[in-house]
Amino acid sequence: MTGSPLIEIRAGSLSRGGRSILDHVDMAVRRREIVTLVGPNGAGKSTLIKVALGLERLDTGEVHRAINLKVGYQPQNLALDQTLPLSVKRFLTLTQAQPAARLQDILGEVGVPHLMDASVHTLSGGEWQRVMLARAILRQPDLLVLDEPTQNVDTAGAVEIYQVIARLRDAIGCGVLMVSHDLNVVMAATDQVYCLNGHICCSGHPTDVSRDREFQKLFGPTAAATLAIYPHKHDHVHAPDGTVTHGSVAEGCGHDHHHPHAH
């Protein structure tokens, strides 16, 4: 794709308390690329994210980070203690002061411009996820790392948040690494999927991954089928002659011509 990876993990292995959590994992994120990690609970998704961020060390393997890589990180399960009074504005500027106009712009970009002075304790699940996303992009990161950015958000809200993420990627030109459970919706805006279960079961473009036998074994044929539905819609939008493509996924390949496909 575009140049060398922002971050690359080679043959990364890590175990805790005698239990293997990551096993020879290879992964890379490039600029302008959206990479999604999927996998069952306990598959090591959050651990892999922490390795990428430098919060956890690998036992064996290598992590390569681009020089002066600026990272925006949205952690999973950030539940704020009620005892700490905090406005959205203050939450955004916890580690770095920012001009008010810029904060206002960013909140506008994620679709919650009215929340600047609200208390973080009064936000809904969706509003809170958007505010955390705003915080992650505030530093103009090269790499955006999002651990379940749509937790506690309904499906419609989740679709919107993934659209916002894709738009931000286009605007800032950053790479995106995220963990998601929303198999069916997340794929809309994903360039590369890694299916993780301790080791990488399969990886590639969403369409290919959904057909992969390992993936079907892990998530069941139903999940794989819902996953495969999305590229159809995508085909429809991007079909060169404007017609609706109802062909099977194996044949319909009009969704994205920039990616090499392994058939």
Partner 1 sequence: MLNDFVVRAVIAGLGITLIAGPLGCFVVWRRMAYFGDTLSHAGLMGVALGIMLGVDPTVGIVITGLVISLLLLGLQQQRRLPTDTLLGILSHAALSIGLIAVSFMDKVRFDLMGYLFGDLLAVTTTDLIWIYAGGACLLTALAFIWRPLIALTVHPDMAVVEGQGRLPVRLTFMILMALAVAIAMKVVGILLVTALLIIPPAAARRFATSPEGMAGATVVIGGLAVVGGLAASFTWDTPSGPSIVAAAALLFALSLVAGLIEDARHA
Q: Which of 119, 152, 184, 226 binds partner 1 (CB under 8 A)?
A: 119
Q: How far is the CB of 81 from partner 1 (least distance, A)?
A: 6
Residue 87 lies near partner 1 (rule: CB under 8 A): yes
- Which residues make Cβ contacts (< 8 Å) with residue 247, sequence separation at least 6? none
Rule CB under 8 A: say whether 167 interacts with partner 1: no
Helix (H) or strand (E) holding 222: helix 213-238
Among 41, 67, 68, 84, binds partner 1 (CB under 8 A): 84
| Identity of the residue, 18 or 221, whose beta carbon is nearer to partner 1 in the bound complex | 18
Least distance to partner 1 from the beta carbon of 130, Å?
Answer: 16
Residue 131 binds partner 1, judged by CB under 8 A: no
Indicate the residue among 73 and 219 with the shorter CB distance to partner 1.
73
Question: Given the complex with partner 1, which of 54 and 247 has the nearer CB atom?
Answer: 54
Q: Work out which of 61, 75, 157, 254 binds partner 1, going by CB under 8 A.
A: 75
Binds partner 1 (CB under 8 A): choice among 86, 156, 237, 244: 86
> Which string of DSSP letters, residue by residue, matches 1-22?
--SS-SEEEEEEEEEETTEEEE
Which secondary structure element, helix H or strand E, spans residue 127, and what is its range? helix 125-137
For residues 15 to 54, the per-residue mask of contacts with partner 1, x marking binding by CB under 8 A and - elsewhere, is: -----------------------------------x--xx
H/E element, 29: strand 19-29
Give all strands (DSSP E) within 129-232, no chain letters. 143-147, 175-179, 192-197, 199-204
Instruction: Identify any residues that bridge with 14 across adjacent strands, giving them in sequence order.
Output: 22
Amino acid letter for position 62 = E
Rg (CA), the chain: 19
The least distance separating partner 1 from the CB of residue 76, rounded to whole angstroms, comes to: 10
Beta carbon nearer to partner 1, 29 or 195: 29
Closest by CA position to 35, among listed 160, 247, 203, 217: 203
Is there binding between residue 222 and partner 1 (CB under 8 A)? no
Of the residues 48, 91, 129, 164, which one makes contact with partner 1 according to CB under 8 A: 91
Asked if 95 is part of the footprint of partner 1 (rule: CB under 8 A), the reply reads yes
Between the CA of residue 249 and those of 38, 87, 172, 207, 243, what are the distances in Å?
Answer: 20, 47, 32, 7, 16
Gap between the Cα atoms of 137 and 132, Å rounded: 9
Tokens of 159: 């679709």
Query: Which is nearer to partner 1, 86 or 237 (by Cβ)?
Result: 86
Under the binding rule (CB under 8 A), the answer on residue 139 touching partner 1 is yes
> Applying CB under 8 A, which residues contact partner 1?
50, 53-55, 71, 73, 75, 78, 80-81, 83-87, 90-91, 94-96, 119, 139, 145
